[in-house]
Each structure stands twice: as structure tokens, then as C-alpha cells.
Amino acid sequence: MATIKDIAQQVGVSTATVSRVLNYDETISVTDDTRDAIFETAERLNYKKKVIYPKIENVSLLFWTSNQEELEDIYYSSICKEMKKQAEMRNVQIAIITKKQGIGAVPKNSKAFIGIGWFSQREINVLKEITNQGVFVDTSPDESFFDSVRPNLDSIVTQIVDFFYKKGHKNIGFVGSSDYDINSFERVMDVREWSFTESVKYYGLFDKKKIYISEALSVEEGYRIGIKMIEELKNDLPTAICVASDTLAVGLLQAFNERGILIPKRTEIFSINDINVAQYVSHPLTTFHIDIPAMCESTLDLLYERVIKKREITKTVYINGKPVFRRSCVN
């Protein structure tokens, strides 16, 4: 592996000069030819500059999930686990605080926070009093004040509908769950339902009777909705269904298998998240993979920009997904 000393010897300058040039030190006085020679030699020798992350202390990792649904919690737990691993690698010192402990447990000296899960307006107001250097993961409750990183659910659902349409499906259904207004706690349309509605309208295939909204993202609700669809729609059951999450899809599969609905021959199912269990259910789920490491990496990038670079303008980053085809929906 090439070193700064190797580059210095070939260019004919000191190691200090090479180091300062490679670190973009604008105060160093060297000719353009020397600067170019250093970069060209570094590239030719395949020099890899060691990344040294500045220490960021007093960061609270808020793990705000209800633990009501085991399979849905796998998704958030995976984010938390990956965030801890990447934070350690990037010299970010975090302290985990759970929803059970409550918002009052967040230290008043927190320099920044990372929020995973769903927060009420009251809890967000408390966080605002502590710091404006926060990043929400999977949600964006206040984009004017805090950064956020989210899977691009709008694009993902649009891609699913496009896929079904190109396969020739004209009877496309949707199973999802409502979102909640953080101020009133009233149910509002989730982005996945909105995207599905707009997409099928674009193709002239909108049918309100084919949209089913559950009480929660759970296996039990997926099963209940599946039975309800079969009993209400009968022979008009959709030939293709976009499902908002794998947890709902698992319950939907259980209901369809129980009632003899052949998957994917009679109905194809395409869901979102790609949790581990998705590949083991009957039938293995075709689903959009959400790149959790990429979400965590972007979260820590945003945190670095706010804390170290003192960025003041907020950012929202959307992470695209990748389809994983299994037996519930054939490519």
C-alpha cells in the first residue's frame, strides 16, 4: 500500500508538503505543477487517504417504537443496530434512550440527536428546546427545523404500479395503513396510499373499492384485511396487489392461502421493506429492499454537516429501494 513517503520521494518534495496538499491545505505555497504532480502520483500509486472522523459527543439516539408488532419492530431494530455500528466507526458517541424511558430522559446537554420511530408534537417541542441538531430516520415530522432521512416510498409505490401495468394487470389493489397527524392524532392519508392512488389514476385504473386501509402495520391486520377482501370482492379480487409493508403482506398471504387463493397465479403480491422473514413465508415475498446501511450512512453525514460544518439549512434525504423478486410476484 502506497504511503505519503512514497509519493514524496517520487515527486521530490517533503512528506509534510504531500500531506498538506492531499488535505487541501489552502495556506501552503506550492506551484500548480507540483500540486498536480502530487495528485497524479497519488492516483497512480493507488494511495488511499485514511479517513479520520472528528469526535462528536453527547448524541442521543432516540429509539421511539411501540414494540406492539414484532415483525415491524425488526425493521426499526435493524436501523438502530446498524446506526450503533456506524456511529462507533465514525467516532460518534451515542447514548440510547427508549420511548419507554420518555422524552424527559433526553439529557439537556445533548449536542444532537438521532430519532428513530414516531414522535408527538409535544415530544418534538421538547427536542427543539434542547437542540436544533437532530436527524429523524424514516419520518420527517418537522422539515423546517430538523433534518431527516427517509425511504423514497412515493417512488417505490409508483414503480410497483408501473411494473404491474406493464405486465398487463388492469385490476390492481392496495393494502396499507393510515398515517397520523402529530398535532391532532387524527388519521391522514399515508404517502404510500397517496402515491398508489395517483399512479392508478394516471393509468385510468382507479377503483376505490380496491383500496383497503388497516388499523396498524401488523400481521393480524394483514390477515383481517385479506379475509375482508376475499369476502367483499369475490370474483373481482385484484389480480395484483401493492402492499405497504411486509408485515401486512405476511398476514395477507396467510388469509389467501387459507382460502385457496393461488399466489401468484390468481393474484400477485408486491410489498415493501424486505425484512428477513419475507424470504421464508409461503409464498416468499417479492418486495422492495430498503437499504438500511445507506439510510444510516446518510443520517450520520447529515449529523456531521450540522455539528461540525455548522450547516444551518435543513435537508431531507430520500433513499431509493431495489426490487427483490421472489415467488409471490414473478418478474
* Better-predicted residue by pLDDT, 281 or 48: 281
Give, in degrees to the nearest 5, the angle at Cα 182 between 288 and 135.
60
* Segment 217-273, tens digit of pLDDT: 889 999 999 999 999 999 999 999 999 999 999 999 999 999 999 999 999 999 999
| Long-range contact set of residues 132-138: C-beta below 8 Å, sequence gap at least 24 | 133/303, 133/306, 133/307, 135/299, 135/302, 135/303, 135/306, 137/79, 137/83, 137/295, 137/296, 137/299, 138/76, 138/79, 138/295
Lowest mean pLDDT among 20-24, 187-191, 220-224: 20-24
| Residues 315-322, mean pLDDT to the nearest whole number | 96
* Confidence (pLDDT) at 311: 94
269-313 per-position pLDDT tens digit: 999 999 888 999 989 999 999 999 999 999 999 999 999 999 999
Domains of the chain, with CATH numbers? 4-44 (no CATH), 56-151+292-321 (3.40.50.2300), 153-290 (3.40.50.2300)
Helix (H, G, I), strand (E, B) or coil at 245: coil
Share of the chain above pLDDT 90, in %: 79
**pLDDT surpassing 70 at residue 101:** yes
Amino acid residing at 36: D
Mean pLDDT computed over every residue of the chain: 93
Measured CA to CA, the distance from residue 182 to residue 142 in angstroms comes to 10
* pLDDT value, residue 2: 85
d(CA 324, CA 315): 29
On whether the pTM is more than 0.75, the answer is yes
pLDDT score of 174 more than 90: yes
66 pLDDT more than 80: no
**Residue 67: per-residue pLDDT:** 57
User: What pLDDT shows up at residue 217?
Assistant: 86
What is the helix (H) or strand (E) element at residue 129, kind and residue range?
A: helix 121-130
